[in-house]
Structure 1
Amino acid sequence: GLAAIDIYLGATEPAEDDPLNKVYPGEFRYGGGHVIEDLVAGKTVLLEAKAYATDCYANTKCKKELCLADMPHALLCNPRNGYQNYNCAVNFSDKTVHTYMGTLKPKCRNANYCSAGELSPLLNDPLYRTIGLGTRIFLGGGIGYVTWHGTQHNPNVLRSSGGTPRQPAGTMMVQGDLKQMSARWLRGVSLQGYGCSLAVGLGVPIPILNEEIALFTGVSDKDIFTQVIDYGHDYTNRIQRNYGEVSYAELRSGQIKVAGKKVPTAPLSSRVKAVEIAETLKRWILDKKFQLGEPVAHFPTADFSLDDKE
């Protein structure tokens, strides 16, 4: 439950009258992520709440319009962000499937991926040397913080010789003041046949403290690999199998080869926006509007050493 006057709004919460997937594939036109975007954009939303009465809180219902400026505090809390590498999704089944990785055509006719590759924060600090509890970050157009490793954080996966994971690995839990943020960097998302969500602009500064970090941050798309996973059958049936590996350079080229077949690719994250975030964060640092700091505590990391690979 929630304490009095506190409101929790989930980014994936659908509208009360949404038919969901009863009319398949559902469109999920408006959900929690869209409400958050509207609030940050300065729009007014309708609040409706019901509860039981107590001696100190007699009202059992509330219905009013409000905007972000009416709220004394508003925090954006994300328990899992900045996934360190993720699957390339395909569909080997005979029917179209709608997933959190987007719509996948049958018989492996398209492939979707989700990462900024060489610009992705955790791929530039694969062992979490500079990122941890208290790290100051760019979040949604404002300043936020890493509050711990995120859900599904799993550093103990197969890695390249340079330390880069070849499978989904680390994640970050992040938080920031919603009132500082911008609708340019927080956008409600509708995933056909799956649900609604929130696209979040995220940037993490990585100070070059030594040769190891310089090596890590020099990683390029051709050095970063991910696995190709079938979301039409294997994923939904929890079958742990992949159909090879592809580099982000191949993914960004617009075409990969899977099972001997040329397959067109499309990203779910924006490379253009990633560059803009990096340039914005760089400008903030140069203008002394953003200060770097050491993490208070480090994430659980992998038992990996570059010395062992030499």
Structure 2
Amino acid sequence: MRTLAEINDKIRRRCAVVCTIEELKARVAEAGVTQTAKDVDVVTTGTFEPMESSGAIINLGHTDPPMKIRKCWLDGIPAYAGFGAVDLYLGATQGVDYIDTGEVPDAEELRERGGGHVIEDLIADKPVHLRAIGQVTDCYPRASFETTITRETINQFYLFNPRNLYQNFIVGVNGGDRPLFTYLGPLQPRLANAVYSNPGAISPLLNDPELKLIGIGTQIFLGGGIGYIAWEGTQHFPLQKRLPNGTPIGPSATLALIGDAKQMSPKWVRGCYFKNYGPSLMLGVGVPLPVLNEDVVNGCAVQDKDVVAPVVDFSIPRRVRPTFGLVSYAQLKTGRITVDGKSVKVAPLASIFRSRQVAVELKEWILQGDFTLTEPVASIPMNRSFLPQDLYTSL
């Protein structure tokens, strides 16, 4: 029906019709797929959820005399320094190095702080303490350095996230007899609660199940700034079993994302902590979907009742854990599901409210002509299998 160039021309002239994903679903229910496809140019999707496989590339600039950094701490949190002399990678889930700080390991304020919090502070232009140890060479004679940095006193500062935007994920429960502290948060024993992380039918990739509308180079909303899809994500598994509507029944496709952190806002990039598990990062990501034809609207019309996730028992400490079957996101969003005949309280890790806000903000960018759509330079592979890592040791 229309091309990306035609849509971008309408965006520049500020006459594009843009809907959030929830507005699009409502239009389809009222006017049908064909009419909606004729009327709408762009659909905005969004999510705000923990994305622990995230981190920041930071270039500090050279000292005088120069220094080849090989160990570095930002507010006591180690950053990887194993490449360029003053290039660092700060992982979102990296915790405080107690040996470096000299603090006791049970200090609450330290246990709950990690790389994601430092990334948030730098985005907010707050001061961060830096301590570095160098490898002394003829061209890098300096041995150590200590200072305070901010967003404005460093060179490149960008998020480069190996795995974001799971197309679908799991529901966690605990069928054992003791509390478990997991990447989904605390799971209480004897099926006392359940937690899910994906926001369901409003989630970006569930509305483009075959990833036909996005690819490497697609421009997105990332942390309140402009970002891009850089590659397939780690653990990308598009061959996951799928329902007839194309949506996967469990963890499936993922994306690697990149974006300038100096443009971002702490509103959309928040350090967080999971009790007795560790730090992580809450991140807002929005993906625009061009309405090129009716097939796009068909994909975006999927409802929470049409998307399912597996209920996984974390009390079994194995790579492949037993499940209690599949549950729809419509059921999850009621606040209770039935597991093994028992009514169980359930809550989301993702903020549904903020996920909606991401889609609304991205819509406003497009309506104002500040954000256009990009043609991917390559497709995301859809034939990747998932390879486990089995270790064989001799006793």
Tell me the TM-score normalized by structure 2: 0.73
Partner amino acid for 1:247? S
Q: How many residues align?
A: 301
1:299 lines up with 2:380 in the alignment: yes
Within 2, Cα distance between the matches of 1:188 and 1:246? Answer: 30
Report what 2:131 is aligned to. 48
Q: How far off is 1:188 after superposition?
A: 0.5
Is 1:81 the counterpart of 2:169 in the alignment? Answer: no
Whole-angstrom CA distance in 1 between matches of 2:362 and 2:242 = 28
Match of 2:113 in 1: 30
CA distance in 2, matches of 1:170, 1:284: 27
Query: Whole-Å Cα distance in 2 between the matches of residues 136 and 238 of structure 1?
Result: 35
Per the TM alignment, residue 195 of structure 1 is displaced from its structure 2 partner at its CA by: 1.0
Amino acid at match of 1:289: D
Q: Is the 8 A contact 1:111 1:265 kept in 2?
A: yes
Supply the distance in 1 between the matched residues of 2:348 and 2:265 (Cα, whole angstroms): 23
Q: 1:238 aligns with which of 316, 319, 322?
A: 319
Structure 1 residue ranges, 4+ long, deviating more than 4 angstroms after superposition = none
Which secondary structure state, in structure 1, belongs to the residue aligned with residue 87 of structure 2? coil
How far, CA to CA, are the matches of 2:339 and 2:299 in structure 1? 29
- Retained in 1: the 8 A contact 2:201–2:303? yes
Shift of 1:296: 0.9
- What SS class does the counterpart of residue 156 from structure 2 fall into? coil
2:301 corresponds to which of 218, 224, 228: 218
2:329 corresponds in structure 1 to 248
CA contact (8 A) 1:19 1:26 kept: no
Contact 1:166 1:224 in 2 (8 A): yes
- Could you tell me how far apart the structure 2 residues matched to 1:99 and 1:251 are? 19
Root mean square deviation of aligned Cα: 2.1
Identity of paired residues, percent?
A: 45
Aligned AA (1:270): S
Of residues 156, 161, 186, the one that matches 1:103 is 186
Which position in structure 2 is the counterpart of 1:284?
Answer: 365
Aligned partners of 1:28 and 1:191 also within 8 Å: no
Aligned-partner SS, 1:282: helix
Paired residue type of 1:284: W
* Partner AA of 2:195 in structure 1: N
| Pair 1:209 & 2:292 matched | yes
Question: Hey, what's the Cα distance between the residues in 1 that align with 2:201 and 2:136?
Answer: 54
In structure 1, the gaps of 5 or more residues are 304-310
1:171 pairs, out of 249, 254, 257, with 254
The correspondence for 1:183, drawn from 262, 266, 286, is: 266
Partners of 2:251 and 2:321 in 1: how far apart?
Answer: 13
The more displaced of 205-214 and 87-96 is 205-214
Amino acid at match of 1:16: D
- Displacement of 1:212 in angstroms is 1.6
| Cα deviation code 1:192-227 (max 9, x no counterpart) | 111111111101001111222111111111111010
8 Å Cα contact 1:127-1:302 kept in structure 2: no
**Contact persistence 1:27–1:192 (CA under 8 A):** no
Give the greater-gyration-radius structure (CA): 2
**What is the aligned partner in structure 2 of residue 273 from structure 1?**
354
The offset of 1:237, in angstroms, is 1.7
Determine the structure 1 residue equivalent to 2:344. Answer: 263
In structure 2, the CA distance between the partners of 1:27 and 1:48, relative to structure 1 (3 Å rule), is: closer
* Offset, 1:19: 10
Quick check: 1:114–1:268 contact (8 Å CA) kept in 2? Answer: yes
Paired amino acid for 2:335: G
Q: In the TM superposition, what is the alpha-carbon distance from 1:27 to its structure 2 partner?
A: 7.8
Distance in 2, Cα, partners of 1:27 & 1:143? 32
The aligned amino acid for 1:292 is L
User: Which residue is equivalent to 2:57?
Assistant: none
Give a deviation string over 1:238-272, Cα, whole Å, max 9, x none: 23431111111111110000010000001100110
Q: Within 2, Cα distance between the matches of 1:92 and 1:191?
A: 20
CA distance in 2, matches of 1:34, 1:206: 31
